[in-house]
Amino acid sequence: MVNRDQVVGLAKQLKGSVKKAAGKATGNRRVQAEGAADMIAGKMQKAYGDMKDKLRKVL
């Protein structure tokens, strides 16, 4: 079962990936860094969602 945090986390990762690629293509370091930050935030949120899902299965 997929929960909200997992979906939002994956969406943030995708957004960050696109933003990072756009920054790299245009040579804009700030956009590139923001994309990398979004990717990390997305990974963290997905990991949180994964942990919630595991706990829900155990309980």
Long-range contacts of 13-19 (CB under 8 A, 24+ apart): 13/38, 13/39, 13/42, 13/43, 13/46, 14/42, 15/42, 16/40, 16/41, 16/42
Domain residue ranges in the chain: 4-52
Location of structure tokens 């995708």: 14
Task: Give the model confidence (pLDDT) of 15-48 as tens digits.
Answer: 999 999 999 999 999 999 999 999 999 999 999 9
Res. 1 pLDDT band, cuts 50 70 90? confident
pTM: 0.87
